[in-house]
Every structure is written in structure tokens, then in C-alpha cells.
Structure 1
Amino acid sequence: MSADAWPEGVARHALDSVDSTNAVAARLASSLSGPAWIVAAEQTAGRGRRGRPWSSRRGNFYGTHLLHPTEPREVVALRSFVAALALRDACVALTGLPEAFSLKWPNDVLLNGGKLAGILLESLGQGGRVQHLAIGIGVNLIAAPDAAEVEPGAVRPVSLLAETGVRVTPETFLEALAPAYARREESFTRLGFGPTREAWLSHAARLGEQIRARTGHELREGLFETVDAHGALVLKTGSGRVAIPAAEVFF
């Protein structure tokens, strides 16, 4: 597959204004037999992790990749790493600035240390089986939220335009992202999480440095040692190594 070829067998649904692309994906899921990208020019009820509002100004990228995975739920969840790598691939392809982009566990893409993009995985299924997976992606192409819109201590939001001077339309971004995701997905399904994990770690922000991770009301601090084979963050703390399966990470 060439770098700019739309992946074979993947549908595309381009909409104007929606509540959220993940919500649209949930409504369409049962009627779509194959993978699909659902993108919108505007979201009126965009969401980030833990139900937080996601600022959705026109000109930025809002999209969801809908899949029908067959693996166990814990394997399906590892696609947050697949999506993060694909996002970084697309950003590098469009800007030619590989050193500027890094990855923040578990699901953010950073540009010059600021938050450029976020990923939200949502699934539908029964009895522990995932029938449909929605990988929601938001990218600040031309505008970033105001600092007042993000929680205290969070990574500062940035936009691609302000940080690099490169203006990219949502349509152009999708043309780079869709094939990038298809390549990363093919590696993940064929080779397992190992190569994806290694690739992610090679671009990880603050690896080997002191960070803080909040799980619920508990705050842990330690050396960011690695991400384990299950996607958990591994911290080296004063009381030993700790594997954290889900957390908010602060630098």
C-alpha cells in the first residue's frame, strides 16, 4: 500500500455537524459489516476520557474508526497504542518533523511537549465479548482549547498550525491517517502487541523520568520504566515496581 492510498475495504462517512463521531459510530455499528472511518466538521457534544467535554471547533479533526474485532477485550483495548502510533505517523508524514512528536501514556500525542491529540476507545458488546470498537480521535489542527478549558496540572494544549506553521485540513489529515492506521493495524493483528509496544516505547514521552500517575483518588509517583506486555504503565517507586493498568499521567 502506498503512503497515500486509501485502505481497501474501509468505508468513509463524512458528516457536517454531529453530537460526537463515537456516538454516530455506535448508532451505525450494527449496519456496517466492515471497518469504517466516520468524520465530522463539528461536534456539539464531543467527549474525552472520563466523560470530559472535548472542545470541537471547526477546522480541527474529529473522527472515529469503527472496527469489529474478534480478540478478547483486554487485547482489543491495546488498540489505543495502535491508534497513537498511526496518529504520530500521519503527523510526521504531513510535517516532516519526526522529532517534534512524542506519545504520552496511555492515549495522547504530544507536539513539542504539548497535547496535540487525544484518543478515546469505546466498545459495544455482551458477556465480555467486544462486538464493535469505536476509536475516537481528536486533533488540534488549527486551534487548541484555552488553558482554562483543561484541568489544573494537565499538559498544555497546542495546535499543529501554531507549533509548526503547517496548515492541514481535516480531509487531508484523514487521507494520511487512514492508511497509517491500516498499516499499524495489520502489524498488530499479524504479529501481536510486541512490535507495537516496542514502536510505542521508542517514541514515549518522559521514558526513564519521574512522573506522577493518578488512579481514582490515589496519586503514585515514580520512574517511568516501561509499558508491560498488557499495556500497563510500569513505575519504579520507593516501594518497588508498580504496574498501573489505567491512570491519568502528569509530568
Structure 2
Amino acid sequence: MSAWPAGYGRHILASVDSTLNEAARLASKLAAPTWILAHEQTGARGRRGRAWSMPKGNFAATLTMRPNEPPAIVALRSFVASLALFDALVDCTGRAEPFALKWPNDVLLNGGKLAGILLESSTQPDGTTPLSIGIGVNLVAAPSKDDVEEGALAPVDLLSETGARVTPEEFLELLAVSYARWENSFTTYGFAPTREAWLARAARLGEPIRARTTNDELFGTFETIDDDGKLILLTSSGRHAIPAADVFF
């Protein structure tokens, strides 16, 4: 294992409603970026308030931090977290080829959904707006396909697909190290290197996909992501820059 990264704290809990909720409760008391890991979550959630199933032995953690950039820049840390997850998974399996990154915030293994990322922020009484990056990984068990919406990718777990057995604490250490490395790149050099690295690991780049926004559904070719992290979709009506959507293959 690599040494825990300097400048980052950690809290490990037996049980909590949600690591994202715990991050919000602790945000005003934490002076440094801090990882919060829970072995059990009783009220976990995913994007748009969807339930997040967490079988025992899986990974659930949130990184809370206080970035000083505009909201549009802060939001790009979903790509930083995706790259950190990818590297941590390669570190614990010794393999890169089974993994891919699905826009905007999922990690795939052999084409199934292995991990998800959720960013949240809220203004504190002192006027600051901490960022919380929630991460869930199916380390040892995957939720039932019945627990996901129709058309979504089937969940998979790391142990069944690769034979790699890793504890949540071991995975947290790998993830914290890789996140610190990518965070340093992001704050030092901007989004360009992060964007290039993310595209090199992107699922279905150059292929047809379906993007469902709140009000519309678009079919087209996944061309790239732009300098703001938007999905660029080439459709019969032209190129569309999509800031937020659910993507289906």
C-alpha cells in the first residue's frame, strides 16, 4: 500500500445514514480535505435522489473539501474523481483493459456499472461552500438488476468479475493516493490534462449513444467532451453540448 497522502484527513465509521450527509454535518469543523468512509449506509443515494444499494463489504466514502474556484470549475472534479477511481482499480487488480469511464460519473467493468460518483455542495453559515464527492464501488457484491432503472447498465462487482478481493479500508488508501495525484494535476495545470486523460479512458467514444436530459432525449455519436466537461453529441440536427444527462448505450 502507498502512504496516506499528506494534507488529507480520514474518518472511518461503522454505520451512518449517508457519508454525504456526514460530510455536510462535519464540513464546518474540518480544516483540511477529509475522506469519510462508512461500512454501512442506511440512507445512501445516487444521482437525482435515486436510492443506492450497498451490500455489506462494498465501498462507500465521501471526500469533503473547500475549493476556492467558481462553481463551474469545482464541478469538473467529477472527472478528477473518475480518473482517481480508475487508477485505484488498476492498482488493486493489475489490469486496465476491463475498466472504462462513462460520462458523466460512472466507472464500468467489462461493460457493467461498477462505481458511481455524486457531487454535492451547500453554503455554510460562514459563507463557504464545501464540496462533497460521494463515491460508491461494488467491491464484493452487486445490487440486483431489478434495483436499477430500465435501460440502465447491469451492476457488476469487482470480486466476481476480476477475482480481486480488497477491503473498503484498503481501497480507500489506494483511492486517496490516486485522488491526491490527480487533484494536484488539476489545480496546477487546469482541466486540459484531466480532460485528455479522461477521454483516453472513455466508454463508447466515437460510437452512438442516447442522452436523456430533464426535457429531451437525443441520439447521436459521442464525439468528445469540451473544455467545460460538457458531452458533445453529433446528431442529425448538428452538434449539441450537453451539460447534464443520463447516458444510455
State the Cα distance separating 1:131 from its structure 2 match.
Answer: 1.8
CA contact (8 A) 1:4 1:179 kept: yes
Q: Per-residue CA shift, 1:123-144, capped at 9, x if unaligned?
A: 0127xx8620000000000001
> How far, CA to CA, are the matches of 2:233 and 2:105 in structure 1?
17
**Structure 1: runs of 5+ lacking an equivalent:** none
CA contact (8 A) 1:69 1:130 kept: no
Match of 2:238 in 1: 240
Aligned AA (2:218): R
Aligned AA (1:122): E
> How far, CA to CA, are the matches of 2:66 and 2:39 in structure 1?
25
Give the 5 Å matches for 1:118-157.
118-125=116-123, 131-157=129-155
After superposition, the CA RMSD in angstroms is 1.0
> How far, CA to CA, are the matches of 1:102 and 1:157 in structure 2?
14
CA contact (8 A) 1:72 1:130 kept: no
- What percent of counterpart residues are identical? 65
CA contact (8 A) 1:60 1:139 kept: yes
Q: Per-residue CA shift, 1:8-40, capped at 9, x if unaligned?
A: 121110001100000000000000011000000
> How far, CA to CA, are the matches of 2:8 and 2:83 in structure 1?
19
Q: Secondary structure at the match of 2:129?
A: strand
Give the 5 Å matches for 1:89-104.
89-104=87-102
Q: Secondary structure at the match of 1:93?
A: helix
> How far, CA to CA, are the matches of 2:105 and 2:128 in structure 1?
20
Q: Per-residue CA shift, 1:31-58, capped at 9, x if unaligned?
A: 0011000000000000000000000122
> How far, CA to CA, are the matches of 2:100 and 2:88 in structure 1?
13
TM value normalised by structure 1: 0.97
Q: 1:4 aligns with which of 2, 5, 8?
A: 2
Q: Secondary structure at the match of 2:136?
A: strand
CA contact (8 A) 1:73 1:130 kept: no
Q: Secondary structure at the match of 2:90?
A: helix
Aligned AA (2:144): D
**Structure 2: runs of 5+ lacking an equivalent:** none
- 2:58 counterpart of 1:63: no
**Divergent runs of 4+, >2 A:** none
Match of 1:192 in 2: 190
CA contact (8 A) 1:153 1:250 kept: yes
Q: Which has the higher strand share?
A: 1
Q: 1:22 aligns with which of 20, 23, 41?
A: 20
CA contact (8 A) 1:123 1:130 kept: no
> How far, CA to CA, are the matches of 2:55 and 2:16 in structure 1?
12
Match of 1:37 in 2: 35
State the Cα distance separating 1:217 from its structure 2 match.
Answer: 3.5
> How far, CA to CA, are the matches of 2:109 and 2:40 in structure 1?
23
